[in-house]
Homo-oligomer: A and B are copies of this chain.
Amino acid sequence: MENGVKPAKIKNIAELARLAGVSAGTVSRALADMSLVNKETRERIQALAREHGFRPNQMARRLRTQRTGVIGVVIPLGHERRQHISDPFFMTLFGYLADELTESGHDLMLSRVIPGDDEWLDRIVDSGMLDGALVIGQSDQSAVIERVAQYYKPLVIWGSHREGQVQCTVGVDNAAGGRLAAQRLLDRGARRLAFFGDTNGPEIADRLAGAQQAVAAMPGATLHDFPTHLASDEMATQISANLDDIGDSVDGIVCASDIIAMTTIRLLHERGISVPDRVAVTGFDDLPLSQRMVPQLTTVRQDIAAGARAMAEALRLRLAGKDAPSTVMTPELIIRESA
């Protein structure tokens, strides 16, 4: 090696075995550092492997052992085809999940799915290349997820928990969150509220329902909801249209996400409408950046890091064959400047 000449590339255990003058089985055991093989042989083989830069083929290993060490992360884009993976909420959650799971030696595989039929999730969990799967957001695919959850255990979902559900979910109480946001606006004296969000999935629908409850309990208060897409390019034009529609008739806006809130505030600012004085705005998520903007966002906090931890923990339990219940986290109102 001193002259820098690379030894010929070893491509499998058999070749290394021949080189070492032992059998393939012994090499396999030696590389796994099993005490079954003599310490000297073991070290000799390991040294040889290192010298030749040999690493056992993972595909073969996984085929044989029937486990992959890979966790699938899936985002179903059922009702929102144009949404991208680059959506900040998803990316943030994904980042924390990655931090959690790579810590415990797993790899993450990302799949973005546009459900074309009812089999998309089956295809993923039956592909034979995953030890478990995480689904981010139920979109409008709750039924499919529920069906798969009945036969595939190592599956954890980010989303809303419903009574009698088989699927193991992690998420905040979205109705409570919606209530908190609307209540905050009402407490500030706002009475004519609007809701910006796409209610096709259960999560946002719950947030709207919560907001409606709060408004119903306050005599004289009204709430009007405006469908608002999440795909970033459409969002701005749609919110613009919403604001034109509203004119001066609204004094508080419950936004279904921080991104929507951020865009809304930006557009209000452009129209010379001051936030929170003329119109108060609440977000939902408490993304890291919502405290970095001006004005800082009053929002309903989902503790994304804690959520990721809960998902990882539930998955670990389920991978070990144990059962893990759903986690419903309590949302927290973070009062900053926008409402």
Name 9 interchain pairs, CB-CB below 8 A, sorted by A.
Answer: A56-B128, A57-B128, A59-B68, A59-B128, A86-B288, A87-B95, A107-B110, A232-B288, A269-B294
Within 8 Å CB of A90, what residues of B?
A: 95
Q: What separation, in Å, do the CA atoms of A56 and B63 have in the docked complex?
A: 12
User: In whole angstroms, how far apart are the Cα atoms of A59 and B295 in the complex?
Assistant: 51
Residues A107 and B109 in contact, CB atoms below 8 Å apart? yes
With A and B bound together, what is the CA distance between A18 and B107 in angstroms?
A: 36
Contact of A60 among B55, B63, B68, B123 (CB under 8 A): B63
A157 at the B interface (CB under 8 A): no
Once the chains bind, are A53 and B122 in contact (CB under 8 Å)? yes
Instruction: Assess the B269–A55 pair: CB atoms within 8 A.
Output: no
Q: Of the 9-residue stretches A38-46, A159-167, A211-219, A258-266, which lies at the interface with chain B?
A: A258-266
Does A3 interact with chain B (Cβ within 8 Å)? no
CB A284 to nearest CB in B, in angstroms, measures 16
B126 contacts A110, C-beta separation under 8 Å: no
* Residue A51 at the chain B interface, CB threshold 8 Å: no
Residues in B whose Cβ lies below 8 Å from that of A55:
122-123, 126-128
Asked whether, in the complex, the Cβ of A262 is within 8 Å of the Cβ of B292, the reply is: yes
A88 CA / B92 CA spacing, docked (Å) = 8
Give A50's nearest chain B residue, CB to CB: B119
A294's contact among B128, B129, B263, B294, by CB below 8 Å, is which?
B294
Is A99 close to B, CB under 8 A?
A: yes
Chain B contacts of A255 at CB under 8 A? none
Instruction: Decide if A91 touches B84 in the complex (CB within 8 Å).
Output: no
**Tally of chain A residues near chain B (CB < 8 A):** 51
Query: How far apart sit A99 and B111, CA to CA, in the bound complex (Å)?
Result: 10
Question: Does A37 sit within 8 A of B, measured CB to CB?
Answer: no
A148-187: which residues lie under 8 A (CB-CB) from chain B?
none
- The reply to whether B292 and A263 contact each other, CB–CB distance below 8 Å, is yes
Interface positions, chain A 95-152, Cβ under 8 Å from B, are 95-96, 98-99, 102, 107-112, 122-123, 126-129
Q: Quick check: B294 and A295 within 8 Å, CB to CB?
A: yes
A262 and B289 in contact, given A55-B128, A96-B86 (Cβ under 8 angstroms)? yes
Q: Mark A63-85, 1 if CB is under 8 A from B, else 0.
A: 10000101000000000000011
A58 within 8 A of B: yes
Query: Is A8 among interface residues, defined by CB-CB distance under 8 A?
Result: no
Quick one: which of A57, A87, A95, A99 has the most chain B CB within 10 A? Answer: A95
* Residues of B close to A85: CB separation below 8 A: 95, 98-99, 102
Nearest B-chain residue to A96, judged by Cβ: B86
- Is A289 a contact partner of B288 (Cβ separation < 8 A)? no
Residues of B within 8 A of A295 (CB): 294
Question: What is the 8 Å Cβ interface bit string for chain A, positions 261-290, against chain B (1 contact, 0 not)?
Answer: 011011001000000000000000000110
- Taking CB as reference atom, which chain B residue is nearest A87? B95
